[in-house]
C-alpha cells in the first residue's frame, strides 16, 4: 500500500481565516513533506519532517505553520494567507535513513484564497 | 539557480505511437525519478533509477539513467489515451530529502 491521504480536497478561505490541511500515511514512513504547486509549474518543496522533527524549511513565510503530531500525521496550519498563496498543496512521505528513498504523494488540496 | 529542463515541453501524438522525452541538468544527480501527474491530482511515481547507465522498465514505460549522470530519458511504447498527463523527472538535490522537479512534459494522446 503506497497511499497518502489528504483532506480536504478543496478549500476556499478568506485572507483573515485560519484553516488547516491534513495528511496521513500508514506505510511506516518516517519522513513527510509539504510541497506547493502553482498551475503549470512543478511542485516546490516547502517543509520536510524527519522522525517527527522539522528538518528542512525552504524559507517559507510564517503564515504557513507545519506540525507533525505523530509519525503518521502531518498538518499545515494556514493563517492570514494572500491570494498568491492559492495553489495545489501536496503532501508526500518516504522511508528515512542513509541515502535517498522514493517519495509517494497524496492527491493534494486545491487551495483558493479570496 | 538549478533547473532540470525537460523536453519537449508538450507533445501531441496519435494513439499507438511511441513517445520519447528527456530531462537534462547542469548538476550531477545520483538518483532519477519519473512521475506522472493527472490534472488536479498528485504525482504518481513511475520509475526510479539509481545507477548511471541503468535501464529500467515498468510495463510500456522504459527509463534510462544517462552515463554522464546529468540526464535521463523516458520512453512510452504504444501510447493509449490514459497516458495523457504531465510527466516530471525529479532527483534529490542538496541532500537526500530535497527532491527537485523538472519543468515537465505535457503529453496529449489523440484517439
- Residue A1 has a pLDDT of 58
Our CA-based measurement puts residue B78 at a distance from the nearest CA of chain A, in whole angstroms, of: 26
User: How many CA atoms lie less than 13 Å away from B17 in the CB half-sphere?
Assistant: 13
Say if residue A42's pLDDT is above 70.
yes
* pLDDT tens for each residue of chain B, 111 residues long: 667 999 999 999 999 999 999 999 988 999 999 999 998 899 999 999 999 999 999 999 999 999 999 999 999 999 999 999 999 999 988 777 789 999 999 999 999
User: How many CA atoms lie less than 13 Å away from A90 in the CB half-sphere?
Assistant: 23
Q: Which residues in chain A have Cβ-Cβ distances shorter than 8 Å to B35?
A: 105
Nearest to B48 among A4, A44, A102 (CB): A102
Least confident of A2-6, A8-12, A37-41: A2-6
- Residue B1 has a pLDDT of 63
- Residue A91 has a pLDDT of 98
> Per-residue DSSP letters for A37-73?
E-TTS--EEEEEEETTEEEEE-S--TTEEEEEEETTE
Our CA-based measurement puts residue B42 at a distance from the nearest CA of chain A, in whole angstroms, of: 4
**Residue of B96, B103, B104, B106 to mutate, interface with A, max A Cβ within 10 Å:** B96
Our CA-based measurement puts residue A50 at a distance from the nearest CA of chain B, in whole angstroms, of: 9
Bridge partners (DSSP) of residue B73 are B22, B64
Amino acid at each position: 500500500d503506497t497511499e497518502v491521504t489528504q483532506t480536504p480536497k478543496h478549500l476556499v478561505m478568506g485572507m483573515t481565516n485560519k484553516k488547516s490541511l491534513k495528511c496521513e500515511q500508514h506505510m511506516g514512513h518516517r519522513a513527510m513533506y509539504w510541497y506547493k504547486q502553482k498551475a503549470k509549474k512543478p511542485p516546490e518543496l516547502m517543509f520536510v519532517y524527519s522522525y517527527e522533527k522539522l528538518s528542512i524549511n525552504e524559507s517559507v513565510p510564517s503564515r504557513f505553520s507545519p506540525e507533525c503530531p505523530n509519525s503518521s500525521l502531518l498538518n499545515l496550519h494556514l493563517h492570514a494567507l494572500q491570494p498568491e498563496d492559492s495553489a495545489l498543496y501536496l503532501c508526500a512521505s518516504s522511508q528515512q535513513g542513509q541515502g535517498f528513498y522514493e517519495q509517494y504523494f497524496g492527491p493534494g488540496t486545491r487551495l483558493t484564497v479570496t | 539557480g538549478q533547473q532540470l529542463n525537460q523536453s519537449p515541453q508538450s507533445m501531441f501524438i496519435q494513439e499507438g505511437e511511441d513517445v520519447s522525452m528527456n530531462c537534462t541538468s547542469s548538476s550531477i544527480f545520483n538518483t532519477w525519478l519519473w512521475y506522472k501527474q493527472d490534472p488536479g491530482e498528485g504525482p504518481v511515481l513511475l520509475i526510479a533509477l539509481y545507477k548511471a547507465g541503468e535501464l529500467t522498465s515498468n510495463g510500456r514505460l522504459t527509463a534510462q539513467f544517462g552515463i554522464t549522470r546529468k540526464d535521463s530519458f523516458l520512453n512510452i511504447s504504444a501510447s493509449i489515451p490514459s497516458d495523457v498527463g504531465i510527466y516530471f523527472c525529479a532527483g534529490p538535490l542538496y541532500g537526500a530529502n530535497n527532491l527537485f522537479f523538472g519543468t515537465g512534459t505535457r503529453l496529449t494522446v489523440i484517439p
